[in-house]
Amino acid sequence: MALLVAVFFTFSFKFKIIVDDDDANIDLFFTRIFNLRVDVDEFYKRFTQSKYREGGFSIYETMENINKMIDSIKFFKDILSYKVISDIKIVDKVQVQDSFYGSLVDVMNWTTLSFIQRYLRENMKDVKKEEYIVLDNFRENVVRVNIYCIGHIKLVNIIMIVLKNIKEMPAIIKRFI
């Protein structure tokens, strides 16, 4: 029985975030014995859509949902503190015709990427492989960012986070239902 409980606690949730030129996809995988996949981006689309207009988008309801997330920020920060990122790659693609503005955009891009790197290193448990790239002379006159991220969090850590925030859990559940 103890072996079964130990195996259960070693289960991990693997997450994969892929944002490229064609599509954005965020998936959550329950690994080890089961191969369950939860499509997080579909949940996010439902989270930002209007309850009253079918398929519609409401700024008011989106802002309301963001306020709910801000009210629950301690819980989400605790979850982030236990996540391990095994691979992250951020490619910033940009094309600016003017050389003066191009150099300003380059400085801005590298500064932004350094802020992202600092945030990940300070708030995640571990970041194993990171790669940050800024591509100049991209084919279109738009700014695009491609993100590829794979990481995981163990079930025992999620249980510890829930127990740590047990007094706030009813309020968090009530906010999102």
The tens digit of pLDDT for each residue in 27-80 reads 777 665 566 666 666 666 665 565 666 655 567 777 777 777 777 788 878 888
The answer to whether the beta carbons of residues 155 and 13 sit under 8 Å apart is yes
Neighbours of 76 (CB within 10 A): 13
Does residue 158 have a pLDDT over 60?
yes
With 0-12 / 13-18 / 19 or more C-beta atoms within 10 angstroms meaning exposed / middle / buried, residue 21 is exposed
Distance CA 27, CA 92 (A): 22
The more confident residue out of 18 and 33 is 18
Residue 34 has a pLDDT of 62
Rounded to 10 deg, the angle between the 155-164 and 2-9 helix axes is 80
User: What does the DSSP assignment read for 92-117?
Assistant: EE---SSHHHHHHHHHHHHHHHHHHH
Domain boundaries, the chain: 9-176
What is the percent of the chain with per-residue pLDDT over 90, rounded to a whole number? 1
Residue 45 has a pLDDT of 64
Between the ranges 54-68, 73-87, 112-126, 158-172, where is the mean pLDDT highest?
Answer: 112-126
Q: What is the mean pLDDT of the chain?
A: 76
Alpha-carbon 59 to chain mean position: 21
What is the percent of the chain with per-residue pLDDT over 70, rounded to a whole number? 71
In the chain, how many H helices and how many E strands? 7, 7
Residue 134 has a pLDDT of 81
Distance CA 27, CA 67 (A): 24
The tens digit of pLDDT for each residue in 98-107 reads 777 778 888 8
The more confident residue out of 140 and 20 is 20
The closest of 87, 83, 92 to 130, measured between CA atoms, is 87
Q: Taking the model in full, what pTM does it have?
A: 0.69
